[in-house]
């Protein structure tokens, strides 16, 4: 089973060292992919640092986009680029509603 813990290095997903203290230090840095306020709603996309497919998916789910104040989960994805695209789709959905 693959590791559940990941870090970012210049917007690229990497496996961290096995030391969880060091992982936590890396995880805290540069977690936010995007934050957009539109029409009284906030769309937030962040790096989770833990595989939210919990090792059972074809690819690790490491980024998450949510809408607030409703706490609606828009989706999860594997890469920084996918996260940016998911974020933009969520923003456009709100603008068009």
Q: What is the pLDDT of residues 37-66, one digit of tens each?
A: 999 999 999 999 889 987 677 889 999 999
Does the structure show a pLDDT above 90 at 91?
yes
Q: CB–CB of 3/27 below 8 Å? A: no
Which DSSP letter does residue 59 get? S
Which range of residues forms the domain containing residue 16?
7-96
Q: Is there a domain that residue 2 lies in?
A: no
Q: CB–CB of 67/58 below 8 Å? A: no
| Sheet with 41-47, side-by-side order of all strands | 32-38, 41-47, 63-68, 72-77
C-alpha 22/C-alpha 94 separation (Å) is 38
Does the structure show a pLDDT above 70 at 16?
no
Q: Is there a domain that residue 1 lies in?
A: no
Residue 21: per-residue pLDDT: 81
**What domain count does the chain have?**
1
SS3 state of residue 3: coil
């Amino acid at each position: 089973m693959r590791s559940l813990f990941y870090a970012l290095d210049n917007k690229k997903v990497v496996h961290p060292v096995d030391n969880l203290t060091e992982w936590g230090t890396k995880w805290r840095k540069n977690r936010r992919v995007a934050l957009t306020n539109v029409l009284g709603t906030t769309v937030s996309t962040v790096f989770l640092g833990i595989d939210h497919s919990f090792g059972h998916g074809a690819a690790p789910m490491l980024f998450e986009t949510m809408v607030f104040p409703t706490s609606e989960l828009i989706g999860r994805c594997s890469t920084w680029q996918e996260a940016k695209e998911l974020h933009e789709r969520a923003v456009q959905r709100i603008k068009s509603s």
